[in-house]
């Protein structure tokens, strides 16, 4: 009848303008995605992504600068 376990701490995340986030990508708490960045499908973003970069993988890594 209801789960009384404590909720995990939360933190906001920020997504800049003109960002593309692929299908089923996960952006974890506290992460900022820079303007014009691309996050690949299925990526798990655990750290900030610089502007105008392509990131992919688990954990996501910068693959290319645009």
CATH for 43: 2.160.10.10
4 located within any domain: no
Ramachandran bin of 6, using left for φ above 0, alpha for ψ from -120 to 50, beta for the remaining angles: beta
42 located within any domain: yes
Note the pLDDT tens digit of each residue in 1-44: 556 677 777 889 999 999 999 999 999 999 999 999 999 999 99
Residue 6: what pLDDT? 76
8 located within any domain: no
Cβ-based neighbour number of residue 35 at 10 Å: 12
5 located within any domain: no
| pLDDT over threshold 70, residue 55 | yes
Residue 49: what pLDDT? 96
50 located within any domain: yes
Q: What is the DSSP letter of 49?
A: B
29 located within any domain: yes
When divided into structural domains, the chain yields a total of 1
Domain span at 22: 14-65
Q: What is the DSSP letter of 55?
A: E
């Amino acid at each position: 009848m209801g789960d009384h376990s404590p909720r995990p701490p939360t933190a906001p995340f920020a997504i800049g303008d003109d960002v593309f986030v692929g299908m089923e990508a996960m952006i974890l708490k506290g992460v900022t995605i820079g303007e014009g960045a691309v996050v690949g499908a299925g990526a798990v973003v655990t750290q900030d992504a610089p502007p105008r970069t392509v990131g992919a993988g688990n954990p996501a890594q910068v693959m290319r600068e645009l």
